[in-house]
Structure 1
Amino acid sequence: MFAARATGLVKLVGLCLMAGVLLAALLFPVVGGLGLASNRAADTVDQTSGELTKAELPLVTTVQDMNGEPIAYLYDQYRIPVPSEGIADTMKAAIIAIEDKRFYLHKGVDWQGIARAAAKAGVDGGASQGASTLTQQYVKNYLAFVVGKGSEDAYKKATEATLGRKISEARIATQLEQKMSKDEILTGYLNIVPFGNGTYGVGAAAKTYFGTTADKLTVPQAAMLAGLVNEPSRLNPGAAVEPAIKRRNTVIDKMRENGAFGPDAKVAEEKAAEYKAADIGVVPNLRLLPNGCVGAGDGPVYGFFCRYLIDYLDKAGLSPDDLKRGGYTITTTMDPVATRAAKESAEEQVPKDQEGVANAIAIVQPGDDRHRVRALAANRDFGNNADAGQSAYSIPAEVTKFGAGSIYKVFTAAAALERGVTGIDRQIDVPSVYTSKVYKDGGTKGYTVRNAGTYPDKMTLTDALAQSPNTAFIILEEQAGLNNVVDMAYRLGLRESMQGVNTKGEPLKADGSNGPSQGDQYKQDNSGSFTLGAGPTSILELSNVAATIMSGGKWCPPTPIEKITDRNGRPVQLKEAPCDQAVAPEVANALATGMSADVKPKGTAHGAAGGFDRPMLGKTGTTESHHSVAFIGATPQYAGAVMTFTDGVAPQVICNTSPPRLCGNNDKSGVFGGQVAAPTWFNAMRVLHANLEPKPLPPVEPRFR
């Protein structure tokens, strides 16, 4: 007993000293001699109290599909702000009863509460209580969770047991009471305070724990939430039921003592007993809001699009941190029908759990002013479980480390058309073997290529694009110029693939230490193999190449954004790259028709087309190593690209089996683009075109014939 009284006496003296210093600090804001405050500190106090009157709390960003349906949520703090009238009186009464019963009587600092805490400490050595008002707690939570973004360091700083912090907090609280009404302070506090499980504010807490809204909270529900703010982790009602109920019942008793159940003591006692007998009432598993791309509305399917969206916005001026705190509403270009069709088609060709073989597809809508990304999907699910074949990278959008094979012959054809080397109906040479005296092979001139099949000595450019002889395009590349062909790939859409990564597919560092870029490397090496497409390639960019050709040569960034509004409903402008005329419309139109024979009887995609008889452009691709195959295609309504590649630790040949599998280095059994990638494209596109009228390809000017 003596020890307890001695301890209490020490606390009594400490509290009295604290009260005296606090009072002095409030009466004399600048006490330079004691080092307790300064003019600069006073400015900070004024600024903080001013910010609190119009505080913008961290809010949830909602990502929607093209129809306005939510597909993902991005946040650091799950919060649903509610006005005063949106908060039940039961909730207000509960929080006041347990945290600050003299809330409506003090002016920000409760001197009676401090005195009461000091008296209790002097009598029995008990812990101090009543010394921190709701207004002070509002200040503390603002500094910790708004200014400090909820970091551990910010929380420690906002709650540290120092006299300087207490003085600052008290001064801000008293200023706040002069600028805001009691109801505004109470509402602000209830919207900012954490309730555990990543939930902040009473609006989100009501939904998370009870599946209701803040204006409908019953006494037992409100009491439980009010009790949570004391120790949300220890009192988590989803796990620690008994401690949560005990704390809830304590709050109910405090509400009764504070007159929340009326003046009649007997009636109040009966009501309290009834409320305390209620079950805990939380919803099973709690209604936690999914967070991030892994938790997207249909996470395994929509996650790749979501990941691309975040990366795109980061480059366009909205950082991931902005998204997690800004409360934006983002309407995307994602078409759920297209995405589902793309996902099902990718999995149909290559099962999601097929070891080492990825099959990814991107769909973009052509247009003169925008190229909207409608789908990004893969046989893989989006997620963090690699053992289950999941990937947290946006594999349809990022630059893969593998090539698109003969699809790169399209860039050679485009450069040759633009420079007047040939036309789509003119005959070009197709020797079975060709040794270039222009390009190097291993550092010396004399690059030799062979055809993979048997072809006539001459054929039209259109037939060559459909049947894909290697020698013909090495010759065209010589005539058009390698630099022009590489630049054409960039212009038509391989912008990140050509200038954003090196030949290993690694993003270029700012200091250039891992450069040059892939495009520059091919130019420096004078490597004619560029037209055979062995280098790293983005599937989304390939899709956008098709969209550019089908849009009369107009390149636009493949955008996932339809519109963005901020928390107040105002439009948000992004720093998106402007569209540009990559090639003349006449060149693009000729190229589109020149690529139209791939689905015809002798074309490499004929078997995969399976009766898809709409006017379209197309081109298959297979790398020499058979580590990857691809297909690019477009109708006037939709463009898309598919790449099937080995995504294991050690690249291997993808064999032509059902389903495709890795088979070491036996390239004689390797799969071709027309066998996996092309069927994936056609099966997805059949769904999208089911109710669309066929549209013709644009006319070709005679000079490009």
Structure 2
Amino acid sequence: MNPLDPDRPSHARPEPAKPESAKPEPVRPDPSSRETDETRAAAREAAAAAKVLGRQLGVLAGRAARGAGRRAADAARAAGPAWRGLAGRVRSRPNKPGAAPRAIPASDLPPAASLAGRLRRRPWLAASLALVLLPLAFLAALVLYSFATLPPLGGVVPEAGQRALTVEADDGRVFATRGAFQGQKLTAAEMPAHLAQAVIAIEDRRFRSHWGVDPRGLLRAMYRNAVGGGVREGGSTITQQYVRLTSLTQEKTLRRKIQEAFLALRVEATMSKDEILLGYLNTAYFGAGAYGIDAAARRYFGKGAKALTLPEAAMLAGLVRAPSQLAPTRNFGGAKERADVVLQTMVETGAITAAEADQARAQTITLRTPPETPPGTNYFLDMVSAEAKKLADAPGDVTVRTTLNLDLQSLAEGVVARRLDAEGAKKKASQGALVVLNKEGAILAMVGGRDYEDSQFNRATQAKRQAGSLFKLFVYLTAYENGFNPDTVLVDRPIQIGDWEPQNSTGRFKGAVPLRSAFAQSINTVAAQLADEVGIPAVIATAHRMGVTSELPNVPSLALGSAEVTLLEMTRAYAGVLAGAAPVDTHSVHTIRGAQPQPLYLRAEAKAGTAIPTESRAMMLDSLQAVVDGGTGKGARVAGLPVGGKTGTTQDYRDAWFIGMTPDLIVGVWVGNDDNSSMNRVGGGDIPASIFRDFVQRATVQLAKGRKRPSAARAEPAPAREVATNPAPAASVRGVPEVIDTGTLAFRGRTVRLLGVDGEGGALARQLARYLRRREVACAPPAGAEAKAEQLRCQIDGDDLASLILTAGGGRAAEDAPADLLAAEEQARSERAGIWGRR
């Protein structure tokens, strides 16, 4: 018998009901834990449900779209008479057995069946409903998902980034800033009323009345953007901007906007309007690396936010919409125009009167900001940033007083660039580096390459190249400390040390030579014999004692500089000879100051290194001076100044070095190519020695006289002794000239060359012609100097014309240009003016 047969009576007895008393007592959970568990479970279920709902809606949407497409295709095939025949048919069902079928009106059908019938009869209606319902379904799913994944308030902590550095030169002049300024958090008591009014007027007029989201403001923004043909106004309230900064990412998606609205409503329910505004001002970005209103006030005006005037507050309020574009440091005109708009908006909202706005517009806004960082100093700044972090890794904005001498830095950049411009292409030398130290190891100037914007690689501190004969300093110093002296005679001859046979660069041998001459002429065989005599390990020990930190291989060829070293560490080693103790402590930072009066770091007096024996040091200095007086470094001689140094040239002319010293300075120079390719027979006594000479002969005079650089706005007038102010001699000329190029003028058929200027044609010449139009120029030969024929110094309205041209970057200074014109060119180069601008 089949127990599942419905016709079979069941003999199964029903289970007796349990008595009421047998029911188990429900377990009552702990109320304190139940709330937490339920909250977590609800959150998990909401997230899971939102995900499932999203997937199901996606599936349904796909099916609906496919069904509508099939129905439309079927309707098209059934068009014409067939459709009319189908439309006339009615569904019928028998009334009784044998009775005729009876038509059922559509009104008697169930709603779903009626709607389905209509949709089958009208496929366009199905498609229309799909077009309307699918976006609504998608939007509903997105809202649910956005709510389910809502982040917590304040969940986004802005990245601290690099702390702000304000960098000063050795004389206290601020010349650069780095990093992001944070400032102090503004309190409610410190916020000026006009600052709050300015921000509300320009960012969110209805801030005090809406509940976080302003539909009226959103519609107004949409209208103005539609009329203006682009995005001219945003619809976000201050509350929405605040939650975006503190709780959301900056992605531009509809989901983020929905979450932004939800969080704005929540913030309005938990914080006061003043707290929201204060939080927004302490978080917003105001351009030029300033985050927060106090940082912006200090960055642009040198004062705290509580001291802002009405026009200053209006300018800062206007920056929030486009901080990078309107930052006053780069676009003061645009920032001022925006401030005027803010003032007018404050009048419209009743925050101030029209008279107060006019008075604010009439006030002069003075920026107290550092100038744009001179491009060439960026190599030095990279090093300072790393050193400052190592010396005082404290949070907050800091000011660093460095060792950099801005005048020497500008001079160094100009000398390196000018020499490579003149000879680099011909001699296949594309890069150069220079380091200037004093005897205490302070870095006074640094050139890490020709163009920081092209390459941030610092060839003075990061590039490791073979030192060549520069390394012989350690060989000879070790020998002098072990009984040799400059008059000791060795034989320049073919030698072999193991498998190594050193050769001289000339390919010839001189026989017996004293060590002084061997060092001055950089004879390789003598240096190899000395190193073999005292031992390579002893030479390595001397190099390390003098401050070389690179790895030095214990091989015979080390005597001729086969090891790779940096320019800074080799310059440091030579500085030890001049100082009489090693290693010299090279440094770039004097002090680091933060918000507190007590310095975060104050450089203590450096401990003297190990003293170099007096006699050995004197012999080494004598040998170094012999190199410049009559050896391979003759190109570095400076009239009237004792100079010592050493050249270095590596195999196949891949590297050329010169490190020289005066009584006050140690200057290291390297020239070569980044790809290690060979130059066109450039040795250390060639371009490097010339760069050293060009720098030292002018740096010495500059340091002695303390001469200032010409200002950017107005070049220094030529000294009276150089420009004739008495009645013009026969060679003088006066009149309104025609411009041939920026270094050549024509006066009534007479051509005059401006002394010290290599002119430029084209657009620069046309600009000069417009400047000189109908203005009289007086030219005369320089007093007390012999100039080339028709080379004169000219004046216009009391200013030296050549200096004006070079300061504006309208030409290049000639090799024989006077010092004031060379300084003018250096300033134009450092400020990227005229021809020195980046192309």
2:375 alignment counterpart: 299
Deviations 1:68-116, CA, capped at 9 Å, x for gaps: 1122111246879878798653331132356677878xxxxx8x72698
2:384 alignment counterpart: 309
* Contact 2:317 2:342 survives alignment (8 Å): no
Deviations 1:146-165, CA, capped at 9 Å, x for gaps: xxxxxxx47789x9457799
2:634 and 2:43 map into 1 onto residues whose CA distance is 84
Structure 1 length-normalised TM: 0.62
Structure 2 residue 181 is matched with structure 1 residue 90: no
What are the within-5 Å matches in structure 2 for residues 210-225 of structure 1? 218=310
Structure 2 residue 577 is matched with structure 1 residue 549: yes
For 1:547, give the aligned amino acid. Answer: A
2:408 and 2:166 map into 1 onto residues whose CA distance is 21
Partner of residue 442 from structure 2, selected from 342, 365, 372: 372
2:645 and 2:351 map into 1 onto residues whose CA distance is 74
For 2:432, give the aligned amino acid. Answer: N
1:362 alignment counterpart: 435
Structure 2 residue 467 is matched with structure 1 residue 404: yes
What displacement does 1:612 show?
A: 4.3
The SS at the match of 2:647 is strand
What displacement does 1:476 show?
A: 1.0
What are the within-5 Å matches in structure 2 for residues 411-490 of structure 1? 411-418=474-481, 420=482, 422-437=483-498, 445-450=499-504, 452=506, 457-490=511-544
What displacement does 1:478 show?
A: 0.9
The SS at the match of 1:396 is coil
1:306 and 1:675 map into 2 onto residues whose CA distance is 30
What displacement does 1:344 show?
A: 3.2
The structure with the larger Rg is: 2
What displacement does 1:688 show?
A: 3.7
* Contact 2:197 2:346 survives alignment (8 Å): no
Query: What percentage of aligned pairs have identical amino acids?
Result: 23
1:591 and 1:174 map into 2 onto residues whose CA distance is 83
What displacement does 1:686 show?
A: 2.8
1:384 alignment counterpart: 453
2:679 alignment counterpart: 653
What displacement does 1:281 show?
A: 12
For 1:394, give the aligned amino acid. Answer: N
For 2:375, give the aligned amino acid. Answer: G
Structure 2 length-normalised TM: 0.53
Partner of residue 632 from structure 2, selected from 582, 597, 604: 604
Q: For residues 333 and 211 of structure 1, do their structure 2 counterparts lie closer, same or farther at Cα, with a shift above 3 Å needed?
A: closer
What displacement does 1:227 show?
A: 6.3
1:260 alignment counterpart: 351
1:436 and 1:374 map into 2 onto residues whose CA distance is 42
Partner of residue 689 from structure 1, selected from 692, 700, 710: 700
* Contact 1:317 1:574 survives alignment (8 Å): no
* Contact 2:591 2:602 survives alignment (8 Å): no
* Contact 1:432 1:455 survives alignment (8 Å): yes
* Contact 1:621 1:672 survives alignment (8 Å): yes
1:332 alignment counterpart: 402
Q: For residues 332 and 451 of structure 1, do their structure 2 counterparts lie closer, same or farther at Cα, with a shift above 3 Å needed?
A: same
Deviations 1:339-379, CA, capped at 9 Å, x for gaps: 23323332343227934422322111123xxx21111126x
* Contact 2:152 2:247 survives alignment (8 Å): no
Structure 2 residue 211 is matched with structure 1 residue 113: yes
Q: For residues 236 and 435 of structure 1, do their structure 2 counterparts lie closer, same or farther at Cα, with a shift above 3 Å needed?
A: closer
* Contact 2:212 2:261 survives alignment (8 Å): no
Structure 2 residue 411 is matched with structure 1 residue 346: no
What displacement does 1:622 show?
A: 2.0
What displacement does 1:472 show?
A: 0.9
1:227 and 1:374 map into 2 onto residues whose CA distance is 41
1:661 alignment counterpart: none
Structure 2 residue 142 is matched with structure 1 residue 73: no
1:211 and 1:563 map into 2 onto residues whose CA distance is 20
2:522 and 2:658 map into 1 onto residues whose CA distance is 13
Q: Relative contact order: is structure 1 or structure 2 higher (C-alpha 8 Å, sep ≥ 6)?
A: 1
What displacement does 1:430 show?
A: 2.4
Is 403-412 or 392-401 further displaced after alignment?
Answer: 392-401
1:575 and 1:47 map into 2 onto residues whose CA distance is 41
1:434 and 1:189 map into 2 onto residues whose CA distance is 78
What displacement does 1:644 show?
A: 2.0
For 1:335, give the aligned amino acid. Answer: N
Deviations 1:626-663, CA, capped at 9 Å, x for gaps: 2222112224422121122234x461233xxxxxxxxx
* Contact 2:649 2:657 survives alignment (8 Å): yes
What displacement does 1:413 show?
A: 1.6
1:393 alignment counterpart: 457
For 1:571, give the aligned amino acid. Answer: P
Q: For residues 28 and 653 of structure 1, do their structure 2 counterparts lie closer, same or farther at Cα, with a shift above 3 Å needed?
A: closer
For 2:649, give the aligned amino acid. Answer: T
1:353 and 1:210 map into 2 onto residues whose CA distance is 46
What displacement does 1:610 show?
A: 3.7
* Contact 2:186 2:294 survives alignment (8 Å): yes
2:351 and 2:410 map into 1 onto residues whose CA distance is 54
1:576 and 1:176 map into 2 onto residues whose CA distance is 50
What displacement does 1:408 show?
A: 0.8
What displacement does 1:571 show?
A: 2.5
What displacement does 1:199 show?
A: 5.5
Deviations 1:223-258, CA, capped at 9 Å, x for gaps: 67646646768999999x99x99999799568645x
2:339 and 2:36 map into 1 onto residues whose CA distance is 40
Q: For residues 550 and 165 of structure 1, do their structure 2 counterparts lie closer, same or farther at Cα, with a shift above 3 Å needed?
A: farther
Structure 2 residue 586 is matched with structure 1 residue 558: yes
Q: For residues 535 and 172 of structure 1, do their structure 2 counterparts lie closer, same or farther at Cα, with a shift above 3 Å needed?
A: farther
Deviations 1:493-533, CA, capped at 9 Å, x for gaps: 221xx23xxxxxxxxxxxxxxxxxxx2xx32xx3x222222
Partner of residue 628 from structure 1, selected from 655, 662, 681: 655
Q: For residues 96 and 303 of structure 1, do their structure 2 counterparts lie closer, same or farther at Cα, with a shift above 3 Å needed?
A: closer
2:822 alignment counterpart: none
The SS at the match of 1:542 is helix
1:248 and 1:28 map into 2 onto residues whose CA distance is 54
1:250 and 1:581 map into 2 onto residues whose CA distance is 62
1:673 alignment counterpart: 684
The SS at the match of 2:470 is helix
Any gaps of 5 or more consecutive residues in structure 1?
Answer: 1-26, 38-43, 105-109, 122-129, 145-152, 262-267, 386-390, 438-444, 500-518, 655-669, 694-705
What are the within-5 Å matches in structure 2 for residues 585-600 of structure 1? 585-586=613-614, 589-590=617-618, 592-599=620-627
Q: For residues 604 and 453 of structure 1, do their structure 2 counterparts lie closer, same or farther at Cα, with a shift above 3 Å needed?
A: farther
